[in-house]
Structure 1
Amino acid sequence: MRGGDTIVALSSGGLPSGVAVIRISGPAVRQILGDFAGGVPAPRALSLAAIGADTILDRGLVAYFPGPNSFTGEDVAELQVHGSPAGVKAIIRHLAGLPGIRLAEPGEFTRRAFENGKLDLTEAEGLGDLLASETESQRRQALARLEGGPRSRVASWRRSLLWLRAELEAQLDFSDEGDVAEDLPATFIDTLNALRQDLTSALAQIEGGRIVREGFRIALAGAPNVGKSSLLNALSMSEVAIVTAEAGTTRDVREVSLDLGGHLVTLLDLAGLRQTDSLAEEEGVRRARVAMESADLVLWMTAPDVVADEPPPIAGRDVWTVANKSDIGPRQSGISISTKTGEGLETLRARLHSHVAEQIGASAHATFSHERDRVSLEAALSAIDEAKTMLHSAEVAADLLRAATSALERLVGRIDAEAVLDELFVNFCIGK
């Protein structure tokens, strides 16, 4: 991404549409409005204008947001025009052809907001999560992150660490002064323990937060022809999988997402596990085993007309037995269902919803949900634990608390942000 340029892009959804919003940000915004929209309107007020220089390309509403009080921190303009593909293309083509103006790269508006101090790194990630949210729980979580939930907690932790470090460093720098006590204050250990407990609590909620953000993954596994694809269709209430009497129809991992009581659930329809001479099916079986190991829950399916196998051992994964085809055979052990008649499906759906909600638990409103959060919090917690054992050496303990502070500052992007910026913003849509 190149700074200093004025950038332009379509910021609204796909075309055609009722209204299209074209966003412009950078030093040339005022000049563009003067030459292309009949003048610079009053800040933060919509003004009707003819859009175009020598030729009117469209007529729409124009808004001007002078920096630094704008989304990017720069001068920003938005043109609200008719959502015509030809009209929008003509306006953007004209603007991008002017000197010093170019098309925005993916996420460049948000990146400029970060670089200009309008957002920290966790808030920028929250915006990305909000744009990608599919369920109500994801929306709430992403909005809380965007609104500064992690930032405020990190700021509180940082203040505690600065106070702890100041007490230790006072012993080093002013130990010969009469007003500096030889021993640490009584509240020192209490503050250190409270800080450690708060970090531990935040770390414990990350897994539940990850499930909200990424979705709860349920693998449908078992031998061929037990009804995995039929269950996928039944739970998703759509014919997304091909179902035939022929064994081995599914050769790859098919993923289908659904909203289960406000939580995102991803169903994984896997190839039937069996020995086979088919290279394609063998690869499907291998992928099925990998998917089972990465799932949050495995539904091991059986059927009375299929030789039953025990599920393979899967360390650290919950495995439920689901007995399908209850309409053609005696009741089997496990959760009894029939994908043909619908028997037991509502019970299964209710149990899945309860299980997902239980796994999320208190993390339903957690704002820490990224792997980057885990790494930073674990690093800070490790440094604090080590510092606690080194209080007899004020210099070493203070340095360890400084390392804990740095780990938290990396989380919000105060330091070492470049390592994650490109990966973060490339996933944004152009225009955001």
Structure 2
Amino acid sequence: MFKNFLQISNTLLGAHFRQHSTIFALSSGQGKCGVAVIRVSGSCTELALKCVTGMSRMPPPRTAILRSIKHPVSQETLDKGLVLWFPAPRSFTGEDCCELHVHGGIAVVNSILDALASVPKLQLAEPGEFTRRAFYNGKLDLTEVEGLADLLQAETEIQRKQAFLQTQGALSKLYNKWKDNLVKSVAHIEAHIDFEETETIEEGVLDEVIVKVEELSKEIQQHLEDGRKGELLRTGVKTVILGEPNAGKSSLFNLLCQRPAAIVTPIEGTTRDILEVTLNIGGYPLVLTDTAGLRSKTDDVIEKEGISRAMQTYKDAELILLVVDSQKYVQWVHCSSSRNVVDYLKHYIKNLGLNNLVCEENQDFDNIFTKNCIVVFNKLDLVKEQLNVEHHCQIIQLSCKHEEGVVNLVDSITNKLKFLCGEPSAEHPSMNQMRHRQHLIKCLEYLNSFLTTSTSDTVLMAEYLRKALRQLGQLVGTITTEKLLDVIFKDFCIGK
């Protein structure tokens, strides 16, 4: 036990030491670039800036000045660049900070980092340490920190918009509003407990708290029922291409990727394994997966495994691109008594083994699918007659060979992505982390427990509200642990 205590003590002391030390790092991208930004933060920033610039006094705050950057030991001039001084608390971290904007050559950057390392009490920053200090000093809450991490990772325009809104407090404003309302409710019910036997408190206080909690419970419930829009936008919409062998799935995959990512041959069963790529479609992230052709009978062990993997990918997908061979549809129309495309699709899907993809009793095309689905009638170049499916907006006629119908397909996919991910807005922010959802679900459970508890047991009611408040505190970071912070900051880069 004593050994564990020492380990914990050393960890806390180490965290405390780093928090009060002065750190530096390259804050712009790695590699050659026109301009590199080197950031310093901490109580010894002023000393560091004077050591590498030779200035006797600090420049005006937030004003760029041109200075020679020198090594403190050798006094060799390393480069000329812009120097900016950000005294506490008006800086990114809330501490004294400075930035050196220098030429972005690798040798230049390394020489200046070496110069800073020679200054007493300075040490190289760890990944995410600048942002962690901003959190500790109240410049950012946890949701804003997560938004900043997402902003650095954003690959599409809509991802950038959602992340930027989060860094600006779109989510934290909502969650803090709920937290403040709950604080008032806790205070009122505790006052009711303390003074219920006297006449020093107004009547109806408990009833008012119950009404407020009911309103909060409804708001949180509506927030949770968002279809995971923010999470899908953050991670990408899982989209799988399905169809029978040789329907043109890999050709469609390559067409959307704009490169030969998958092998295409006239031989059935060419694709065996799962191929996955992330695409930017209309500003939305699409995680596109090519799969093995689906059929009920095959003696090939490897193809069987490919089909099994395809079925598993289908179960996890949020969007299906169902590829149909137009030639086979035309043959079916000629041979079948029915010319209804819905009947054909049900027949086709049944043969693929995707029985749970359609509602058998529904003949309305727009409502036959149990998942979001776009039907792609491929190989249009091999069909000499009209398919008579133009009136169905979710059917795209395509020729991968001639790239005919690609614009319509991209537009259809974009519309589906808009529906699934929504449009980020400051007025209606969407949660985009599983952590948020878990805290809000627990908070809602405690609120519902409060509402179902007898009003005669006000002590228990108050305890449920305190537990609900703790969940909101953990959500925004007013109540947190180092372990949670380590998880959040693990993907940050050095210099941020």
Length-normalised TM-score, structure 1: 0.91
Give the secondary-structure state (helix, strand or coil) at the position aligned to 1:134: coil
Alignment of 1:16-415 (within 5 A): 16-39=32-55, 40-53=58-71, 54-181=75-202, 183-184=204-205, 186-205=207-226, 207-273=228-294, 283-303=305-325, 309-313=351-355, 317-329=371-383, 331=387, 335-361=396-422, 366-392=429-455, 393-415=457-479
- Native 8 Å contact 2:292 2:310 kept in 1: yes
CA offset at residue 152 of structure 1? 1.5
**Comparing 71-80 with 359-368, which one deviates more in the overlay?**
359-368
CA offset at residue 208 of structure 1? 1.0
Give the secondary-structure state (helix, strand or coil) at the position aligned to 2:382: coil
CA offset at residue 219 of structure 1? 0.6
In 1: Cα distance, 2:21 partner to 2:227 partner: 39
CA offset at residue 363 of structure 1? 6.0
Give the secondary-structure state (helix, strand or coil) at the position aligned to 1:327: helix
CA offset at residue 374 of structure 1? 0.5
The yes-or-no answer on 1:426 pairing with 2:468 is no
Larger gyration radius, structure 1 or structure 2? 2
Give the secondary-structure state (helix, strand or coil) at the position aligned to 2:67: strand
Give the secondary-structure state (helix, strand or coil) at the position aligned to 1:35: helix
**Structure 1 residues 303 and 36: alpha-carbon distance in aligned structure 2, compared to 1, 3 A threshold:** same
In 2: Cα distance, 1:288 partner to 1:89 partner: 49
**Structure 1 residues 90 and 244: alpha-carbon distance in aligned structure 2, compared to 1, 3 A threshold:** farther
CA offset at residue 413 of structure 1? 1.1
In 2: Cα distance, 1:367 partner to 1:80 partner: 36
Match of 2:341 in 1: none
CA offset at residue 314 of structure 1? 5.6
CA offset at residue 206 of structure 1? 6.1
**Structure 1 residues 95 and 306: alpha-carbon distance in aligned structure 2, compared to 1, 3 A threshold:** farther
CA offset at residue 266 of structure 1? 2.1
1:55 maps to amino acid: E
**Structure 1 residues 88 and 325: alpha-carbon distance in aligned structure 2, compared to 1, 3 A threshold:** same
CA offset at residue 114 of structure 1? 1.0
In 2: Cα distance, 1:344 partner to 1:296 partner: 23
In 2: Cα distance, 1:431 partner to 1:391 partner: 54
Percent identity reads 40
In 1: Cα distance, 2:134 partner to 2:144 partner: 10
**Comparing 293-302 with 98-107, which one deviates more in the overlay?**
98-107
In 2: Cα distance, 1:416 partner to 1:231 partner: 47
2:476 maps to amino acid: V
- Native 8 Å contact 2:275 2:291 kept in 1: yes
Give the secondary-structure state (helix, strand or coil) at the position aligned to 2:231: helix
Aligned length: 432
1:326 maps to amino acid: L
**Structure 1 residues 394 and 91: alpha-carbon distance in aligned structure 2, compared to 1, 3 A threshold:** same
Q: Which blocks of at least 5 consecutive residues in structure 1 are unaligned?
A: none
CA offset at residue 154 of structure 1? 1.8
Give the secondary-structure state (helix, strand or coil) at the position aligned to 2:381: coil
CA offset at residue 335 of structure 1? 4.1
In 1: Cα distance, 2:310 partner to 2:232 partner: 21
Report Cα offsets for 1:176-235 as digits up to 9, x if no partner: 221325644553343222211211222123601112222222111223322122112222
1:297 maps to amino acid: L
- Native 8 Å contact 1:324 1:337 kept in 2: yes
- Native 8 Å contact 2:294 2:353 kept in 1: no
- Native 8 Å contact 1:226 1:324 kept in 2: yes
1:241 maps to amino acid: A
CA offset at residue 278 of structure 1? 6.1
**Comparing 182-191 with 158-167, which one deviates more in the overlay?**
182-191
- Native 8 Å contact 1:325 1:338 kept in 2: yes
1:141 maps to amino acid: Q
**Comparing 325-334 with 293-302, which one deviates more in the overlay?**
325-334
In 1: Cα distance, 2:494 partner to 2:301 partner: 41
In 1: Cα distance, 2:64 partner to 2:248 partner: 58
CA offset at residue 279 of structure 1? 6.2
1:45 maps to amino acid: T
CA offset at residue 125 of structure 1? 0.3
Q: Which blocks of at least 5 consecutive residues in structure 2 are unaligned?
A: 1-14, 330-347, 358-369, 390-394
- Native 8 Å contact 2:127 2:494 kept in 1: yes
**Comparing 96-105 with 288-297, which one deviates more in the overlay?**
96-105
In 2: Cα distance, 1:324 partner to 1:299 partner: 11
- Native 8 Å contact 2:161 2:424 kept in 1: no
1:192 maps to amino acid: V
**Structure 1 residues 314 and 3: alpha-carbon distance in aligned structure 2, compared to 1, 3 A threshold:** farther
CA offset at residue 358 of structure 1? 2.0
What is the aligned-residue RMSD (CA, Å)? 2.6
1:288 maps to amino acid: A
Give the secondary-structure state (helix, strand or coil) at the position aligned to 2:77: coil
1:374 maps to amino acid: R
Report Cα offsets for 1:49-90 as digits up to 9, x if no partner: 111121111110111112222111222111100111111112
CA offset at residue 312 of structure 1? 2.5
**Structure 1 residues 107 and 188: alpha-carbon distance in aligned structure 2, compared to 1, 3 A threshold:** same
CA offset at residue 13 of structure 1? 2.0
In 1: Cα distance, 2:431 partner to 2:219 partner: 13
2:288 maps to amino acid: L
**Structure 1 residues 328 and 311: alpha-carbon distance in aligned structure 2, compared to 1, 3 A threshold:** farther
**Comparing 248-257 with 195-204, which one deviates more in the overlay?**
248-257
**Comparing 187-196 with 82-91, which one deviates more in the overlay?**
187-196
